[in-house]
Chain A
């Protein structure tokens, strides 16, 4: 920055010595670099070829809620069936559907029900179900809400906790961003035709919602059942605690499907991976992670 003229000469001297020292390794380094480049380019070309033509690679893209589970399944799948590759990318439920439609991905991952229009286009495969937990701060004495109360809280019609049995104080609903699969499921399951209050705080990840609810006794948020951790209190909905047993028994109503979505006929590698996910082994892996098995 020119504000230390006394140090400049020294530094230049250093630089020359360093450059001289580097000169020899650099020449062999250049060769190495060239070789590496060739190898990388070559493998890119090869990969490009195998990605399109060979049947042993499956691409998944979509919901960030399903992504970690799919990655885990893919890892186990690669171990069980050497030579089979499954690639998993995020991007969101909507992006997953787009990728399945354009053929960019063999399977789109979608963490909400398909709309009527979408279900004409795609074949949905239910891989698991996921409870939607309603979480509040542990300091909040409210332990149970009806769906009607929940709707009113998020719509902003109930603005004070004492109306639902809590201590007096403002209610601060926390929602996810437009387009999130979790948000769309919440809207469909809870909100009906009502809109989420415009005053509600919007956070772009489950982690951010968690942090906010942990720190704010007035907050209420929603997230995947498997993600509820210490520092959060999940409330009972319609007198049913959010547990896997209650979801299975049909007592807990806030449940969303986790879908693999395909379009048209699938190739054999894709079908093989889907079969693996639906197999008892795949299903028990998902159950271990807090999801609800389909059978």
Chain B
């Protein structure tokens, strides 16, 4: 008994130290970043596209737009393939195939992001440059690379969501004379909707936070991208590109970029949590 308590206490300390680490990081980022936002003015900082630290111009709008474009692009590509995969693996494929495919998809999550970036630079970028024009390093390239990177996240959550749909729904639909495809689109996807939305949001959270692969394939130009083929700089790549050299106000402005990213990702996670809670709540009332 006594031993249980001691072990419990030790585990509590370990758990708390992990959380306090997170809390300290949060406090640190905000303490370093918020003052410069106030000094520059929130409006100037968030709504100006002029980023020229050596001249004291700190406006991150083009990076925010860049992150948004790349993330939405990645979500579109990720969703098409992930949902397709999830539907096939749960409904249509023979058990042997899903047993073989699932681990492969999970393996995708284990590939380091720098490898994705490298493959993107070596194969994807020249293809885009050759066939679609532009510099190759572009919103499109970043979206495709990120779309593949978030595939495992979205797929595995989507599979869980689809498998959570009660079998009786599907059997009822088939019994009423619906085809399998009609059952999938009209019953399965509807019933699993909140879970699928949560999957997409979590995938977007991963995409917006990814750095290394994006730096390598996005081109990092400061301009607001005007087409899918234009280069783009995201919030994360801005921090990673300039952190090594920055000092003074510049350094603080990069922390402020981090604060912005932190808030966006927190909002995305809260949204995902809220959506999946809603699902759980609804199921309980049934």
**Cβ contact of B233, chosen from A1, A92, A172, A202, cutoff 8 A:** A202
Given contacts A201-B219, A201-B220, A202-B222, contact A215 B244 (CB under 8 A): no
Query: Which of A192-200, A255-263, A284-292 contacts the other chain?
Result: A192-200
Contact with A along B208-245 (1 / 0, CB 8 A): 00000001100111110000001101000000111011
The verdict on B86 contacting chain A, using a C-beta distance below 8 Å, is no
A92 touches B244 (CB 8 A): yes
Chain A residues with CB under 8 A of B168: none
The verdict on A238 contacting chain B, using a C-beta distance below 8 Å, is no
Chain A residues with CB under 8 A of B121: 211
A98 touches B53 (CB 8 A): no
* Shortest beta-carbon distance from A112 to chain B in Å: 11
**Cβ contact of A179, chosen from B106, B233, B240, B246, cutoff 8 A:** B246
A195 touches B103 (CB 8 A): no
* Shortest beta-carbon distance from B61 to chain A in Å: 12
Nearest A residue to B137, CB-CB: A201
Q: How far is the CA of A8 from the CA of B102 in the complex (A)?
A: 18
Interface size on B, residues (CB 8 A): 34
B242 touches A177 (CB 8 A): yes
The verdict on A67 contacting chain B, using a C-beta distance below 8 Å, is no
A178 touches B53 (CB 8 A): yes
Chain A residues with CB under 8 A of B245: 92-95, 177-180
Q: How far is the CA of A178 from the CA of B238 in the complex (A)?
A: 10
Of B103, B129, B244, chain A has the most CB atoms within 10 Å of the CB of: B244
Nearest A residue to B122, CB-CB: A211
Q: How far is the CA of A98 from the CA of B248 in the complex (A)?
A: 11
The verdict on B203 contacting chain A, using a C-beta distance below 8 Å, is no
Chain B residues with CB under 8 A of A180: 245
A216 touches B135 (CB 8 A): yes
Q: How far is the CA of A219 from the CA of B126 in the complex (A)?
A: 13
B129 touches A216 (CB 8 A): yes
A212 touches B242 (CB 8 A): no
Chain A residues with CB under 8 A of B102: 3
Nearest B residue to A93, CB-CB: B245
A199 touches B250 (CB 8 A): no
Nearest A residue to B52, CB-CB: A195
Chain A residues with CB under 8 A of B182: none
Chain B residues with CB under 8 A of A275: none
The 3 closest A-B pairs by CB, nearest first: A179-B245, A202-B220, A198-B222
Return 20 A-B CB contacts under 8 Å, by A number. A4-B99, A92-B244, A92-B245, A94-B245, A94-B247, A177-B241, A177-B245, A178-B53, A178-B241, A179-B244, A198-B221, A198-B222, A198-B223, A199-B221, A199-B223, A202-B241, A203-B220, A204-B240, A212-B135, A219-B135
Interface residues of A (CB under 8 A from B): 1, 3-4, 91-95, 98, 172, 177-180, 195, 198-204, 208, 211-212, 215-216, 218-219
